[in-house]
């Protein structure tokens, strides 16, 4: 073999495996444009995703882009878990909000972390974090206007039990971080015992191969995952209240539920079907009925779902209303006058973040309505933001009239 041939053969053996490695793990760092934050001071937070050395996993890094033109600066690193959501949460109400980061492991049914970053002495530090199964994060306000962290996730009450959905509510603590206030579930999932905080380990290098996360500089402490013990659900603030009516709802089990819904809405949506279901809402272990409206059966994009749950008493109905009306972080809308028999009402419509962790995840248009009747909850949802107020009132009026006849 000639020397030149030998040289190119050796070069091929070196370069080809390296090129295959880069092709498999991602050749270059990329900016994930769907996940970013605009801060009140004009600064911006962006997300960059890059391959981890000798791994099929990726590393996500948050960079602070100063408004004054100074160089960007890494403030948080997640190794082996993708950053799926960013929010701000102003615990101290001083105009310097904390950054709330949600991460998810690859694949379904995986773990994720919710991390709170705070700027101290010019650097962002991790001041609180917790680990959950498939967390979905929202910010909610209670009746006194205090902003709290609401996390929908899955847990087990005991070893060997099936995982059930739980909403954990975290409130601002005395030391300006977060503490666990309650777990909410209509089936009386017990209230958690607040775990003691423990010092966080030193942050790993951004090039480390082990999975995990860290602030770029950190003196943080973490909380362990919530421990379940005993209690009743907490009650958050209702959105819109009317004077209670003494009329009690009759049992729906002996009724023709389909007749409770208008067959044709003023917008042209048709009632396609009404079915009883063991669990019409995946996050609530509760039997109920679901009515489907659409322009026709083939037009999925026009679909509107109306779920009705019969509650054992008015307290359970009120608690469930408070839970469901705080699930989504979408703009609240008002209806001028509520139909008779509607005791409390929440109407949200707009665009919310996608729960998907993929780089191409896009915001989702949504309409969410929760209505409290005597001992009955109605939950209307559609993945579109143009469901008319007229249609909503028509459904409420027809249902309320039949419910109390």
193-197, 251-255, 341-345, range with greatest mean pLDDT: 341-345
User: Residue 32 is inside which H or E element, if any?
Assistant: strand 30-38
Report DSSP letters for 121-144, one per residue.
TTEEEEEEEEEEEEEEEEEEE-TT
Shared domain check, 247 and 220:
no
Does pLDDT of 15 surpass 50? no
Shared domain check, 221 and 292:
no
Shared domain check, 248 and 218:
no
Domain boundary among 198, 228, 258: 228
Pick from 52-61, 112-121, 192-201: least confident: 192-201
Buried b / exposed e along 264-296 (16+ C-beta atoms within 10 A) = ebeeebebeebeeeeebbebbebebbbbbbbee
Strand segments (E) across 142-163: 147-155
Instruction: Give the pLDDT confidence score for residue 292 in this predicted structure.
Output: 93
* CATH number of the domain where residue 251 is located: 3.40.1000
Shared domain check, 286 and 364:
yes
Shared domain check, 276 and 179:
no
Shared domain check, 386 and 244:
yes
Asked if residue 213 lies in contact with residue 76, where contact means CB atoms within 8 angstroms, the answer is yes
The Cα 158–Cα 96 span in angstroms is 41
Q: What is the dihedral of CA 33, 36, 39, 45, to 10 degrees?
A: -90
Q: What 3-state DSSP class applies to 325?
A: coil
Instruction: For residue 234, tell me if it sits in a domain.
Output: no
| 195 token code pair | 């775990």
Shared domain check, 132 and 82:
yes
Mean pLDDT of the chain: 75
The pairing of strands 304-310 and 288-294 is antiparallel
Instruction: Give the pLDDT confidence score for residue 211 in this predicted structure.
Output: 53
Shared domain check, 160 and 306:
no
Dihedral sign of CA atoms 223, 235, 99, 46 in order? positive
Instruction: Give the pLDDT confidence score for residue 395 in this predicted structure.
Output: 94
Pick from 63-67, 207-211, 262-266: least confident: 207-211
Q: Residue 397 — pLDDT band, cuts 50, 70, 90?
A: very high
125-129, 278-282, 382-386, range with greatest mean pLDDT: 125-129
Domain, as residue range, for 213:
29-228
255 CB-contact burial (10 Å; exposed 0-12 / middle 13-18 / buried 19+) = middle
Instruction: Give the pLDDT confidence score for residue 371 in this predicted structure.
Output: 92
How many structural domains does the chain have?
2
Instruction: For residue 171, tell me if it sits in a domain.
Output: yes
3-12, 72-81, 231-240, 337-346, range with greatest mean pLDDT: 72-81
Shared domain check, 53 and 186:
yes
Does pLDDT of 347 surpass 70? yes
Q: What 3-state DSSP class applies to 375?
A: coil
């Amino acid at each position: 073999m000639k020397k030149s041939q030998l040289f190119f053969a050796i070069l091929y053996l070196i370069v080809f495996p390296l090129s295959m490695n880069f092709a498999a793990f991602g050749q270059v760092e990329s900016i994930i444009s769907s996940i970013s934050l605009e801060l009140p001071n004009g600064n911006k937070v962006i997300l960059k995703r890059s391959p981890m050395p000798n791994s099929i996993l990726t590393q996500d890094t948050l960079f602070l882009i100063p408004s004054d033109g100074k160089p960007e600066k890494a403030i948080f690193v997640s190794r082996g878990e993708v950053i799926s959501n960013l929010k701000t949460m102003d615990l101290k109400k001083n105009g310097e909000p904390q950054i709330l980061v949600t991460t998810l492991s690859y694949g379904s049914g995986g773990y994720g972390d919710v991390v709170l970053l705070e700027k101290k002495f010019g650097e962002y530090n991790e001041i609180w974090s917790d680990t959950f199964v498939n967390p979905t994060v929202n910010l909610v306000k209670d009746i006194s206007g205090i902003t709290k962290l609401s996390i929908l996730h899955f847990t087990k009450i005991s070893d060997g039990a099936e995982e059930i959905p739980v909403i954990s509510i975290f409130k601002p603590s005395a030391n300006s971080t977060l503490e666990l206030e309650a777990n909410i579930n209509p089936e009386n999932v017990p209230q958690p015992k607040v775990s003691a905080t423990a010092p966080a380990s030193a942050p790993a290098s951004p090039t480390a191969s082990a999975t995990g996360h860290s602030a770029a500089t950190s003196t943080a402490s973490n909380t362990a995952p919530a421990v379940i013990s005993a209690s009743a659900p907490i009650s958050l603030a209702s959105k819109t209240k009317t004077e209670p009516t003494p009329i009690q709802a009759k049992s729906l089990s002996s009724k023709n539920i389909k007749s409770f819904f208008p067959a044709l809405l003023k917008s042209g949506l048709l009632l396609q079907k009404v079915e009883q279901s063991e669990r019409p809402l995946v996050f609530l272990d509760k039997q109920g009925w679901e009515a489907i409206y659409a322009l026709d059966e083939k037009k999925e994009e026009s679909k509107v779902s109306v779920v009705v749950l019969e509650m054992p008493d008015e307290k359970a109905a009120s608690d469930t209303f408070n839970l469901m009306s705080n699930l989504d972080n979408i703009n609240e809308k008002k209806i001028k006058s509520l139909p008779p028999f509607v005791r409390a009402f929440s109407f949200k419509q707009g665009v919310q973040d996608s729960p998907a962790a993929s780089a191409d995840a896009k915001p989702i248009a949504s309409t969410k309505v929760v209505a409290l009747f005597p001992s009955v909850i109605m939950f209307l949802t559609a993945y579109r933001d143009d469901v008319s107020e007229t249609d909503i009132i028509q459904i409420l009026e027809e249902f309320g009239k039949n419910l109390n006849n």
